[in-house]
Chain A
Amino acid sequence: EVQLVESGGGLVQPGGSLRLSCAASGFTFSSYWMTWVRQAPGKGLEWVANINQDGSEKYYVDSVKGRFTISRDNAKNSVYLQMNSLRVEDTAVYYCARVRGGRSPYDDAFNIWGQGTMVTVSS
């Protein structure tokens, strides 16, 4: 079964750090781009970061550039999101998702999603 399972969420104070993990199974992880998408409570979806198959290409939404780092370990079938200098506005459910793997990774869809992990930034 194709599956993504996120972990690492929790409560953290403003200015703190957190590392999210996403474990993949059921597919050849190293062949796919991966992405992180977040959803603040009661709000819509917001793309956060993408990473290509070998980690040589990474993209970030402007609001997290310089604070968040996406990475992956293909030997462990996992993708990570290191979040530093956290702000109250980073409070959200964070989903990892797989890019579908069509003709182009850039304008392709996110076709497999994890169940999400909640990050709460509050004092």
Chain B
Amino acid sequence: SYVLTQPPSVSVAPGQTARIPCGGNNIGRKTVHWYQQKPGQAPALVVYDDSDRPSGIPERFSGSNSGNTATLTISSVEAGDEADYYCQLWDSSNDHWVFGGGTKLSVL
């Protein structure tokens, strides 16, 4: 089965840029989505199809995907961006949908 690897935590100062990686074998050949989950809340989609943003998501959120790593980038980080972030894709080899383990973003 396909495995997505995320670091457990990432820390960044307010106003700086946070980069959250999601590793997988040839992940650049797949389509990756990203979700934000704040404490006590349901997940919310922040980036889909590698780099597109749903309506209402700030331009500060962007995504890229190449080689063995997909990356969620959050520029000009704000305190309100503190959350868990999950990458996700479809594993066509067995028709399973897979989530990464999640990364906790802390704003120092």
Contact = CB atoms under 8 A, between A and B. Distances in A.
Nearest to A44: B102
In this complex, the interface size class of chain B, counting residues with CB under 8 Å from chain A, is 20 to 34
Contacts, number: 65
Given A107-B92, A110-B35, A113-B44, 4 more contacts: A37-B99, A44-B100, A45-B37, A110-B88
Interface string B70-108: 000000000000001010111010011111111000000
Nearest to B86: A45
A53 to B, nearest CB: 17
Contact of B88 (A61, A102, A109, A113): A109
Question: Chain B: interface secondary structure?
Answer: strand
Interface string B26-58: 000011010101000011110011000010000
Contact of B49 (A109, A113, A114): A109
A78 B69 CA distance: 37
Nearest to A50: B97
Given A106-B92, A109-B33, A45 B43 contact: yes
In this complex, the interface size class of chain A, counting residues with CB under 8 Å from chain B, is 20 to 34
Contacts of B89: 107
A47 interface: yes
Interface in A80-118: 95, 97, 100, 102, 106-111, 113-116
A106 B37 CA distance: 22
A45 B97 contact: no
A35 interface: yes
A46 interface: yes
A95 B96 contact: no
Given A102-B49, A107-B90, A110-B45, A45 B35 contact: yes
Nearest to B34: A109
Contacts of A108: 48, 90
22 contacts: A35-B97, A44-B84, A44-B86, A44-B101, A45-B99, A47-B99, A61-B96, A62-B1, A62-B96, A95-B43, A100-B45, A102-B48, A106-B95, A107-B90, A107-B92, A109-B48, A109-B88, A110-B33, A110-B35, A110-B45, A111-B48, A115-B42
